[in-house]
Amino acid sequence: MEKYTQFVKKEIGDFNPEYAIVIGSGLAPIMDKVKVKKRISYKEIPDFPVSTVEGHRGELVFGTIGNKRVLIFNGRFHFYEGYSMKDVTKTIRLAGELGVHSLIVTNAAGAVNTTLEVGDIMLINDHVNFIYADNPLRGEKGNKRFVNMIGVYSREFIKKFRKIANREGIPVREGVYCAVSGPNYETLAELKLMNRLGIDAVGMSTVPEVIMAAYFGMKVLGISCITDAAFGSNEVSHEEVISVAEKCGKKIAKLVEEFVKEA
Ligand code: HPA
């Protein structure tokens, strides 16, 4: 067990989280749905990175949604911040070592599929990893590192989430998410390439975390807030991404709350 897990275990005692939720850029309203039991700042945790991105807080939050025990990562780490993939995925390794069985991961993403609109919620049904420079499992020992990635995004979770969204009258789309390293946004040629490859949305996170979740055998639900028409516009800005995500955030928070309660 990693040093950071040992530290957190001591802090939370026998609170065994069942679900982990990663909060993406501007998607903090999920926090309003949690009955908080304990907060731990990333800064206090030995061997743990800190968030350096505007729109990302840096704390672990333990609490409950309905009768489910959850661990929330209020702020995530990105490869573009200069961290190794091993560091980027310490959140998920921590969750895995604490026995979390399901991961809900959220992000802000640009639309590559031109039928997606700004403000849409897209459930991730598969991904393409365009970050070749490093891998979260690089350096792991044993055969477990050759992890299967087929069917990582649980069909059952997608179906359940869709049912709830239907009931709440909130439309959701579904598609393939592509991870790039960032921090620059894509060129038009890159977006055209992605579009031809069948990619629906592009972002700078999530995929490393999902690889680590697969390594720990977790079930995964991935949710993107489409913050910009990457492939249909000539400019994207971080400020725009955050401002749209904040609007999306309330809807996603409501759906995640119901999803966890009913799971
Ligand atoms: N490209 C990459 N990452 C992003 C985008 C985008 O257009 N929007 C939000 N994150």
Ligand 1 lined by 152 (C-beta under 6 Å): no
Predicted pLDDT of residue 56: 61
Predicted pLDDT of residue 42: 94
* Residue 95 CA, ligand 1 centroid: distance in Å: 26
Q: Which residue has the tokens 């991105």?
A: 53
* Residue 185 CA, ligand 1 centroid: distance in Å: 6
Q: Ligand 1 atom 3: the closest Cα is on which residue?
A: 203
Predicted pLDDT of residue 102: 98
Out of 106, 186, 199, 200, mutate this one to test ligand 1's pocket (max ligand atoms within 8 Å of CB): namely: 186
Predicted pLDDT of residue 9: 96
Q: Following DSSP, what letter does each residue of 206-260 receive, concatenated?
A: SHHHHHHHHHTT-EEEEEEEEEE-GGG-S---HHHHHHHHHHHHHHHHHHHHHHH
Domain ranges in the chain are 3-262
Ligand 1 lined by 53 (C-beta under 6 Å): no
Mean pLDDT confidence for 14-39: 91
- pLDDT bin (cut points 50, 70, 90) of residue 234 is low
Ligand 1 lined by 236 (C-beta under 6 Å): yes
The model's pLDDT over 110-154, given as tens digits with 9 standing for 90+, comes to 999 999 999 999 999 999 999 988 999 999 999 999 999 999 999
Q: Is the pLDDT of residue 25 over 90?
A: no
Predicted pLDDT of residue 95: 98
* Residue 24 CA, ligand 1 centroid: distance in Å: 12
Please report, rounded to a whole number, the percentage of residues in the chain having pLDDT higher than 70: 98
Q: Ligand 1 atom 7: the closest Cα is on which residue?
A: 110
Mean pLDDT, the chain, whole residue set = 93
| Candidate from 56-60, 180-184, 214-218 with smallest mean pLDDT | 56-60
Please report, rounded to a whole number, the percentage of residues in the chain having pLDDT higher than 90: 82
Pick the atom of ligand 1 nearest to 230's CA: 7
Q: Is the pLDDT of residue 55 over 70?
A: no
Mean pLDDT confidence for 20-43: 91
Which residues, other chains included, contact 257 with Cβ-Cβ below 8 Å and sequence gap of 6+?
Answer: 30, 33, 65, 66
Query: What distance in Å separates the CA atoms of residue 147 and residue 61, rounded to the nearest whole number?
Result: 29
Ligand 1 lined by 24 (C-beta under 6 Å): no
Mean pLDDT confidence for 187-194: 94
Which architecture, in CATH terms, is 3-262?
3-Layer(aba) Sandwich (3.40)
